[in-house]
Structure 1
Amino acid sequence: MISLISTDVIAIIALCFTISFGKKNVVVCNKKNMIYIYAAVTTIILLILEITTILMEISSNNKLMMPHRIANILGFSLSPLVPFILLFFNSNKEKNILYNCFLTIPLCFNAFMCILSYKTGFIFFVDAQNQYTRGNLFLLPTIICIFYYVLFVIAVIKNSVKYEMEDKKILIPVLFIPILGIILQILFKDLILIWCCTSISLLIYYIFLLELQFKYDTQTGIRNRVAFEKEMEQYVSRDKNATIIMFDLNNLKRTNDKYGHKVGDEMIFHAAKIIEKSFSGIGKSYRIGGDEFCVICNEITRKLLDIALSNLDDLLIKINQKRHIKIVLAYGYAFYNKNENENESKSINYTFVQADKAMYIHKAKLKEAYGIIEND
């Protein structure tokens, strides 16, 4: 028992440190920080409750029967909350009221059954001698935990399509270590592993968030300049054709000066999402400057490129119908041929320059179409 308590205390200390770092971290986006902090604080509470119940169980003092029952009620009631938090913040349905209500039903039902267990012993029972035993419905909180974890895994898989393979490898233990702890604790009654495993999982999740800050732009959620340059370097030895598409957001400076940087930031965000959506499945999107974006596509046909650019134009028309300040994107592209990569004038960097020049030609045409626009 002492070793279990020591492990829990170490887990609490580690989580407290990472919560402190998370609060100070201004690079990782605020939403992802809050996911981690909420889940970590809940886990610390559960670890403290676990230590409390262990100490009460060791004691033979029957005066501790009531607090022992209350501690178990809190522990079993809150146990599905960690995967619930992770699911809620990672789901794309945050604003769907019906979906959110559906999610809370198992959580509320579990809490209700745990409260009833004070007298009935459905989930657990602490007798008059302060001895703890499992109830007939002991697996109910565990089943609800697994239910939320499964939905969380599905949500993460959907949201991780854009992640590189090395990022997904980090996510694997984040998702499955807690489930492993749950299974082992069910099979071996004397083992108490769930919240230690969850703590390890959350620590790995925090490392994952730190890793992402070096690859993804926090404002837009797409890949950043560092990731772009790393991808460009791969084409020195990569035996693949590529298409580079450059984008520039017009009127950003004027928007910032007239309406403020918050409105300008919102334009950048929507521009990035439109570009990412237009090339989803055929190319990787990057923010390489303040209002400059790039997409790199491997082995795509001219027809696919035309379809993607047509989708982009359609999305711009659709979003601008609802906007007072229009989003105008200039773009240009060039093709990289693997068979010509030994020629410096046909290198991937040369292709990038050609795409940039094509973008400025398109930008000039947009000036004529929309009137005089300042150089951004």
Structure 2
Amino acid sequence: MMEWLEFSDIVGISIVIYVVVLALNNIHLKHSAKKGIIVSGIALAVLYTFDMLWYVIYYKCPQSEKTDYILNLVTCIVYLMIPLALSTFFAIYAHSIRKIRHYVGVTTIILLAVMDIINIFYPILFYHENSNMYFKPLSLIMHILCFVAFLILLADMILAKSFDYEDTFLATFVGVTMFIGLLGSWINYDLKTLWLGLGISYLLMYLAVSEIYNKKDFLSGLPNRNAYEKTIAHMKNNYATIVMIDMNDLKRYNDTMGHAAGDRYIFATSKTLADAYAESGKLFRIGGDEFCLISSNTKEELSRIAEALLKNGKCNPKYGDFPINFAYGIGVREEGDTASYVLKKADEAMYENKRKKERV
């Protein structure tokens, strides 16, 4: 019999290998995201490896105080991998503007790591006796802190600008899976469920990260055509207007200054538009020089913002020394209008605006 061989840990390592290979070959992921995913994967691989070692010691070594100490040390190393894995994912999602939840998350992760290290020398979370593991009361706090850190991480994911209903659904399953694992660990000492739950959560987290980047325009940082199509396909009557925007000078920039300068011009324009409409709705880059804003604001409010930008004539200086020149059209949703019909109205208004500018 090979009781010491834990196939659940082998499944966990297989999941880690699968995710790491996908991440390494995903051209859309930023370097920092890839690095975070890989480091988290390494932490989980160490967790699964030491968990297998725990069973080898349990089945192969005689019961003694020394065996209990070794089992406790191995378990502490296993648990120490959880805050390490969380910290790297937390770094991926932490927004540039720190909020209280970020400090709470970091403090929680540090506390988890410190408690695991202390437990090596003094059992405050769990202990081993006759080769069996037993939780101490403080361990419940550890489980709660772990889930709090995980929830903060999910909150950062859901608050990402390109997060939509699909990503929210996926993030919910990540949280539920993690919760079931922690619950099984605390109530039934079912660590296999916890470790597999971590592996499944790791896979789902990668899928969520990948989806976010797949819906993000690499150049402008705005939600891209993919995100736009999915938003339009599932959009309900929770908007009032749609604005179509088309840059006027991009071809000239590309022809006279080169495509590199054209890309900088797109970046400056998109960032300036995003800043101006930050409180007005969700802005997408849907083509080379085309943008779409889905808004709850009135036509008059959105028109005032557009005219103010055009009157100023310059992109925000922090994005480069570029003029701003675009045509725009606003479609207003009337009772019974479909999203495609409002888009058509906005598109027609935008092209009419462009023709007027060309005649001037």
Question: Which TM-score tier does this pair reach, normalised by the shorter chain?
Answer: 0.7 to 0.9
2:329 is paired with a residue of what secondary structure? strand
Q: Structure 2: which 5+ residue stretches go unaligned?
A: none
**Post-superposition shift, 1:327?**
5.4
Q: Which of 310, 328, 334 does residue 332 from structure 1 map onto?
A: 328
**Post-superposition shift, 1:199?**
1.3
- Aligned: 1:292 with 2:294: no
C-alpha separation in 1, matches of 2:145 and 2:110: 11
Count of aligned pairs: 356
Q: What is aligned with 1:304? A: 301
Task: Decide whether aligned partners of structure 1 residues 362 and 103 sit closer, same or farther in structure 2, where only a CA change above 3 A counts.
Answer: farther
- Aligned: 1:124 with 2:126: yes
C-alpha separation in 2, matches of 1:315 and 1:25: 40
C-alpha separation in 2, matches of 1:305 and 1:257: 32
Task: Decide whether aligned partners of structure 1 residues 183 and 166 sit closer, same or farther in structure 2, where only a CA change above 3 A counts.
Answer: same
Q: What is aligned with 2:92? A: 89
Task: Decide whether aligned partners of structure 1 residues 17 and 350 sit closer, same or farther in structure 2, where only a CA change above 3 A counts.
Answer: same
User: Which structure 2 residues correspond to residues 250-289 of structure 1 after superposition, within 5 A?
Assistant: 250=249, 254=253, 261=260, 265=263, 267-280=265-278, 282-289=280-287
The letter of the residue matching 2:95 is N
Q: What is aligned with 1:246? A: 245
The letter of the residue matching 2:302 is L
**Post-superposition shift, 1:90?**
1.0
**Post-superposition shift, 1:13?**
0.5
Between the aligned residues of both structures, percent identity stands at 17
Q: What is aligned with 1:207? A: 207
With normalisation by structure 2, the TM-score equals 0.77
Task: Decide whether aligned partners of structure 1 residues 297 and 92 sit closer, same or farther in structure 2, where only a CA change above 3 A counts.
Answer: same
C-alpha separation in 2, matches of 1:20 and 1:272: 33
2:316 is paired with a residue of what secondary structure? helix
1:122 is paired with a residue of what secondary structure? coil
Deviations 1:125-147 (A, max 9, x none): 245x5443334433343233123
Deviations 1:73-96 (A, max 9, x none): 2222232233333223212147x5
- Aligned: 1:223 with 2:218: no
Say whether the 8 Å CA contact 1:28–1:213 is kept in structure 2. Answer: yes
C-alpha separation in 2, matches of 1:192 and 1:171: 22
**Post-superposition shift, 1:46?**
1.7
Task: Decide whether aligned partners of structure 1 residues 81 and 310 sit closer, same or farther in structure 2, where only a CA change above 3 A counts.
Answer: farther
C-alpha separation in 2, matches of 1:282 and 1:352: 19
User: Which structure 2 residues correspond to residues 38-57 of structure 1 after superposition, within 5 A?
Assistant: 38-57=39-58
Say whether the 8 Å CA contact 1:223–1:287 is kept in structure 2. Answer: yes
Q: What is aligned with 2:350? A: 355
C-alpha separation in 2, matches of 1:141 and 1:106: 9
Task: Decide whether aligned partners of structure 1 residues 313 and 194 sit closer, same or farther in structure 2, where only a CA change above 3 A counts.
Answer: farther
